[in-house]
């Protein structure tokens, strides 16, 4: 169970860090830049702890897929970026893939 907490916090850290990249303005603003650095360090550290119990392919698929969906939603909510129908369908398919991995893959239950 602990590995799911690590993976969840890794995903959230990566989403926060990636969202702050825009605000860092090419690492010219101190505080957003620090959030980016700390967020990515925390995300990769927690992902490395996750890999002790979840296979790398499965953990990375969940991490990158969930991160991608959350980043797209973050861009929509915080930066007013639009999502057209094909983008929304693609995001739904990514979420469906994550659900399939978690519900049916025998490697996730390790």
From the list 46, 52, 59, 71, the residue with the least C-alpha distance to 98 is 59
Q: How many domains does the chain have?
A: 1
Q: What is the pLDDT of residue 106?
A: 80
Q: How far apart are CA 94 and CA 97, in angstroms?
A: 5
pLDDT reported for residue 109? 56
Domain that holds residue 82: 2-104
Task: Give the separation between CA 17 and CA 71, rounded to whole angstroms.
Answer: 10
Per-block average pLDDT, block size 10, for the chain (110 residues)? 94 96 94 98 97 90 92 92 93 91 74
Whether residue 78 lies inside any domain: the answer is: yes
Is 62 exposed, middle or buried (CB count within 10 Å of its CB: 0-12, 13-18, 19+)?
buried
Q: What's the pTM?
A: 0.87
Q: What is the pLDDT of residue 57?
A: 86
pLDDT of 99 reads: 87
DSSP one-letter code for 79: H
**Looking at the domain assignment, is residue 50 inside a domain?**
yes
Query: Is there a domain that residue 110 lies in?
Result: no
User: Is 19 inside any structural domain?
Assistant: yes
The angle, 0 to 180 degrees and rounded to 10, between the axes of the packed helices 56-79 and 85-104 is 150
């Amino acid at each position: 169970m602990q590995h799911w907490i690590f993976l969840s916090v890794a995903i959230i850290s990566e989403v926060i860090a990636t969202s702050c990249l825009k605000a860092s303005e090419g690492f010219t603003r101190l505080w957003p830049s620090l959030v980016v650095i700390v967020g990515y360090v925390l995300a990769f550290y927690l992902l490395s702890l996750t890999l002790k119990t979840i296979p790398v392919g499965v953990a990375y698929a969940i991490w990158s897929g969930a991160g991608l969906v959350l980043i797209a939603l973050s861009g929509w909510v915080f930066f007013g970026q639009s999502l057209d129908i094909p983008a929304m369908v693609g995001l739904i398919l990514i979420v469906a893939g994550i659900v399939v991995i978690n519900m049916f893959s025998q490697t996730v239950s390790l």
